[in-house]
Amino acid sequence: MKDIKTYVDKHQKRFLDELIALLKIPSISADKAYKKEVFNTADAVAERLKEAGCDLVEICETPGYPIVYGELIKDKNLPTVLVYGHYDVQPPDPLDLWDSAPFEPVIKKTELHPDGAIFARGACDDKGQMYMHVKALEYMTQNDDLPCNVKFMIEGEEEVGSENLGWFIARNQEKLANDVILISDTGMIAKDTPSITTGLRGLSYVEVEVTGPNRDLHSGLYGGAVANPINILTKMIASLHDENNHITIPGFYDKVEELSAEERAKMAEAPFSLENYQKALDIDSVYGEAGYSTNERNSIRPTLDVNGIWGGYIGEGAKTVIASKAYAKISMRLVPDQDWKEITELFKKHFESIAPKGVRVKVKPHHGGQAYVTPIDSLGYQAAEKAYEKTFGKTPIPQRSGGSIPIVSLFERELNSKTILMGFGLDSDAIHSPNEHFGVWNFFKGIETIPHFYHEFTKLKMAEK
């Protein structure tokens, strides 16, 4: 294989400039106000794919935001790698906590990133990691070093639950046919500790509304005499966990995959410092389900978190009011064998059942996805392992992630192929938070590693035939 490192070094500046241009477009899929920018981002991604050497690029309309499809078919008899990524980003608020504007990327050195990191919303999740694949393709086409066929599917609704991806895949199964799916939308343990994500949590995201009196009331004249929707909402949410932080929704744990003591022991080998973890978050203690370690709590155990809550007067000063309505956005992270639709139903049924007289409750399911596990003996995992060994000089650690990429299980079901999650981000990259960033070193290391995966996978796949 030709020297990719030399190629990357030579084009570093251009690669960064191209990524920065992409990061400048505020493609916030959750907020309709940015509709135009989301569409513009799709156009930009299509352009980059053409330039990188795809011989077919399409902007595929969906009922929602378009999916950018690109392909380079060398030979029908060669294996095909399908790259998935997303060009939409999380909303940037709270804006006042950003040190620089979220859509005006800046490169700054940090302790962890002496070569600098790109600070911008989407820098790591997922524009930066998605773009590594585009540049890896450029290297392979420019240097006649592409060993197989490649397809790209870059969507614009990942941050809002990939609402139309299923719709698209169902209509394009032949077009999307592949031997393995490659995604970089996760992280690795550390720069000197490469890891491959083998498990993802599922998700059920709901919004709840509690309605009391038909109008806002004076808290003096009515206080204590009518159900206050905010007080009731806090009572209802608080009751969703017991004193051991187990979730109290009947049936919630029925299908939870219980790991063996041996598996848990293997997990516990991953390097982890509770002290540094707490220090990084400035907390005096972790908090979670009794009987499980921090790494288990956020990977192999299901959870329930309120992502947003609002009601009543939240402006400056004081207002003595009893609100008519209170709201919360609640998400549950699920583990293998929990079905997200079933869990959403269980939540709805339970939450409605615990509403006291005097209020009315609405539960609106938002979106969700199934949990997923990749066997470490699969061809794709084996190829990825070898790729990391070539560029990091180390065997990567298989890791369960607490995050969700709902569509991974969808891929397995609809396209019936395995997904390999090669993530190059770090926990400290603050994805979904103010000051999201992505290390320049990580960006280049990703571009460097990906072509090795293509070669290793093609070798293994051809050997299999």
Site for a second copy in 139-158 (CB under 8 A): none
> Are the beta carbons of 401 and 197 closer than 8 angstroms?
yes
d(CA 150, CA 159): 25
Span 6-25, contacts to a second copy by CB under 8 A: none
Taking the complex as a whole, how short is the minimal distance between the CB of residue 338 and a second copy, in angstroms? Answer: 14
Q: Contact with a second copy (CB under 8 A): which of 285, 393, 463, 465?
A: 285
Angle, vertex CA 207, rays to CA 199 and CA 256, nearest 5: 30
Q: Which is nearer to a second copy, 52 or 355 (CB)?
A: 355
Residues 195-254 that bind a second copy (CB under 8 A): 201, 203, 205, 207, 212-228, 230-231, 233-235, 237-239, 241
Judged by CB under 8 A, the residue of 173, 248, 320, 395 near a second copy is 320
Give me the phi and psi of 210, to 5 degrees please. -115, 125
* List of residues 6+ apart from 305 with CB closer than 8 A: 330, 331, 332, 333
| Minimum distance from residue 320 beta carbon to a second copy (Å) | 6
Using CA of residue 235, residue 336, residue 380, residue 45, what is the dihedral sign? negative
Q: Which residue, 226 or 268, has its beta carbon nearer to a second copy? A: 226
Whole-Å CA distances, 164 to 167, 395, 397: 5, 37, 33
Does 271 sit near a second copy (CB under 8 A)?
A: no
How far apart, in whole angstroms, are the C-alpha atoms of residue 191 and residue 183? 19
Site for a second copy in 158-187 (CB under 8 A): 159-161, 187
CB of 39 to a second copy, least distance (A): 17
Binding flag, residue 311, a second copy (CB under 8 A)? yes
Are 422 and 196 in contact by the 8 Å Cβ rule? The answer is: yes
Stretch that binds a second copy, among 79-87, 104-112, 260-268, 321-329 (CB under 8 A): 321-329
For residue 157, the SS3 value is coil
* Residue 90 or 417 having the CB closest to a second copy: 90
Nearest distance from C-beta of residue 431 to a second copy, angstroms: 6
Whole-number minimum distance, CB 137 to a second copy, in Å? 28
Q: Which is nearer to a second copy, 333 or 350 (CB)?
A: 333
* Segment 96 to 125, residues that bind a second copy, using CB under 8 A: 97
Residues 436-465 touching a second copy, rule: CB under 8 A, are: none
Please, which residue, 159 or 448, has the CB nearer to a second copy? 159
Look up tokens 């032949």; give the residue.
Answer: 174
- In this structure, what token pair is assigned to residue 452? 């090795």
Of 10, 36, 266, 319, the one binding a second copy (CB under 8 A) is 319
Of 77 and 353, the one with the shorter C-beta distance to a second copy is 353
| CA atoms lying within 13 Å on the CB side of residue 379 | 20
- For Cα atoms 87, 93, 96, give the angle at the middle one, nearest 5 degrees: 130
Considering only residues 30 to 89 of the shown chain, the ones binding a second copy according to CB under 8 A are 30-32
Q: Whole-number minimum distance, CB 51 to a second copy, in Å?
A: 32
Shortest distance in whole angstroms from residue 211 CB to a second copy? 9
Burial 129-145 (b: 16+ CB within 10 A, else e): bbbbbbbbbbbbbeeeb
Query: Phi-psi region for residue 5, left (φ > 0), alpha (ψ -120 to 50) or beta?
Result: alpha
Which secondary structure element, helix H or strand E, spans residue 82, and what is its range?
A: strand 80-86
* Backbone phi, psi, residue 88, to 5°: -90, 160
Which of positions 343-362 make contact with a second copy (CB under 8 A)? 356-359
* Residues 366-425 within binding reach of a second copy (CB under 8 A): 366-367, 401-404
Taking CB under 8 A as the criterion, the residue among 3, 9, 93, 258 binding a second copy is 93
Q: Considering just the CA atoms, what is the radius of gyration of the chain in Å?
A: 23
Judged by CB under 8 A, the residue of 317, 377, 393, 463 near a second copy is 317
Kindly tell me which of 91 and 166 has the beta carbon lying closer to a second copy.
91
